[in-house]
A and B are shown apart, each in its own frame.
Chain A
Amino acid sequence: MGNLSGHEPDASLTLHAGELARSGEPAVSIEHAYTRYVVPIYRFLYSRLGNQEEAEDLTSEVFLKAVRQLEPSRDDASVQAWLYQVARTTLADYWRRRNRTPEAPLGYLDVPEASGGTPASDQAATQFALWLLDQLSERYREVLTLRFLKGYSIKETAREMGITENHAKVLQFRAVQKAALLGREHVERRA
C-alpha cells in the first residue's frame, strides 16, 4: 500500500504541461467536477454516514459515475446539482441495500442550492450537530460530548461521569433518542 499513501504527492501526480495541452478535448467537465467537488461531495456523504470507510466507497462511486455519465456540456451550477443528485441516489441505494432507513430523520440537510459558490453542506452538518447538543439536558449533552467530541470510550465516559458502564450506555441511548426527536421536530417545523 506504500505508493497509495498520502505522505506526499507522488510522482504520478506531478504536473505535465504537455498532457494538459493534449487534453483540450471535452475534458473540462470531469476535471472541473473532480477538482472542485470531490471534497464537498465526500463531506456531504460523510455527514450522512459518519465514517471514513463508507464515505470513501460512495465518493468513489459518485465520481466513477461522473466519468461515465456526466455530459461535458454542463455548466458549473448544473455539474454541482448533478453530482449532489447522484450522491443522494447513491446513498439511498446503499442504505436500501443495507437495510438502513433511507430518509431517517436527516432530511434537514438539503442539497445545497445549485447556485455556484461553496456548498453549504460542509458547515451545515456541524452546525446542526452542535445545535442539537445545545438543546439537550446537561446530562445528555455530557455523555454525547464525551463520546463524540472527545472520542472517549464508553468505559472512559462512565468513569468521567461517575456512573456504571451500563448506565452510560442507557444514558447514551436516551440522549441519541432525544437528539433524534429534536432533529425530527426541527425538520417538521421547517417543512
Chain B
Amino acid sequence: MSNEEPEVSGAAANRLNAAIDRLLAEQRPPDPAPGGDEADLWQVAALLKQARPDLATPRPGYLAALGRRLRGASERGRTRLSRRQALSAGATALAAGAAGFAVGRLAEPSATSSSSPPARPSRELTLREGEWVPVARVADVPPGAVVPFAAGAVLGHLLNQDGDFVAMSAVCTHMGCVLRWNEDRQLFRCPCHGADFNSDGVIQPTPDYPWTPPPLPVLQTKVEDEQVWVLGTGDPPPILRHHDHPA
C-alpha cells in the first residue's frame, strides 16, 4: 500500500461495499448511483467480478422464458422464432462451462427427476487420478465453521461438524451454479434458482423452489501436518490462480 493515497471517506467506502454486496448477490446495485468517480468504481467492481467467468452464464430458466416471450412477440410481428431455436439456445447455455460444473454432473446419480426423494448424504465423490490438496489449517476451521475452498478445479466448502471435517462440493446439483454459504440461515444457497441445501448437503424444498436435486457430493478428506486435505485435482482453475490456499 502506498502512502500517497488520499484519505478515503468512510461513507464512500460503505457505499462501494454495499454495491459490491449486491453485485455478489446478482442484484442490481442501489439506486441512484452516486455518479462521477464513485460510479466509475462501481463499474470497475462489475468488471472485477468477471474474474470468475462461471458467473456470467445465463440461467437456463431465463433463456427459456425469453425464448417464449420472443416467440410470442414475433408471432404478433413479422418474424418467427421457432421452438427449436429457443431450445437450442438453452442448450448452448447449458454447455457453457462453469468451473466445477463437471463435478456436479459427474456426481449426479441417474435419478434426476424431481420425484426422487432427498437421499441421505452418503455419497462420496472419488476422483480418478485425484490429487490431495491442502485446503485449510485445522486451527482455522473450528467446530461449526464453514470455509469455501478450491482443491484444484474442485470447488467446495469445508465444514467442521463436531470435530469431523466434511468437504462438500460447492456446485449446485441442479444446474451447476456455485453455492454460497449463508451463515445466518445455516444454508447453502444457489444464486441461480434459489435452491437451499442444509449443512448436510440435502435440498430444503421451499415454495419458490419445489424441486429436489440430489444431495451435494462429499469429497474425501484427511488431516495431516495440521492441515485439512481434500482429494481434488492438481490443476487449479485459471480463475483461482491468484489465491493461495493456506499452505
Q: What is the interface of chain A, defined by CB distance below 8 A to chain B? A: 1-2, 4-7, 9-10, 12-16, 19-20, 23, 25-27, 29-32, 34-35, 38-39, 42-43, 46-56, 59-60, 63-64, 67-68, 70, 72, 98-101, 104-106, 122-123, 125-126, 128-130, 132-134, 137, 139-141, 144-154, 166, 169-174, 176-177, 179-180, 183
4 A-B pairs besides A16-B84, A122-B53, A147-B24 with CB distance below 8 A are A46-B56, A50-B46, A52-B59, A63-B66
The stretch from B86-94, B158-166, B226-234 touching chain A is: B86-94
| Interface SS of B by simple majority | helix
Whether B41 and A150, one on each chain, are in contact in the complex, defined by CB atoms closer than 8 angstroms, is no
Whether B61 and A5, one on each chain, are in contact in the complex, defined by CB atoms closer than 8 angstroms, is yes
Question: With the chains together, A67 CA to B92 CA distance in Å?
Answer: 20
Across chains A and B, the number of contacting residue pairs, with CB separation under 8 Å, is 288
Contacts of A130 in B (CB 8 A): 51, 238-239, 241-242
Question: With the chains together, A139 CA to B166 CA distance in Å?
Answer: 30
Whether B44 and A180, one on each chain, are in contact in the complex, defined by CB atoms closer than 8 angstroms, is yes
Question: With the chains together, A72 CA to B42 CA distance in Å?
Answer: 38
User: Is B247's beta carbon under 8 Å from chain A?
Assistant: no
Question: With the chains together, A46 CA to B86 CA distance in Å?
Answer: 20
Question: With the chains together, A72 CA to B79 CA distance in Å?
Answer: 8
Whether B43 and A29, one on each chain, are in contact in the complex, defined by CB atoms closer than 8 angstroms, is no
- Nearest CB of B to A11, in Å: 10
Residue-by-residue, is B212-247 near A (CB-CB < 8 Å gives 1, otherwise 0)?
A: 000000000000000000000000001111110000
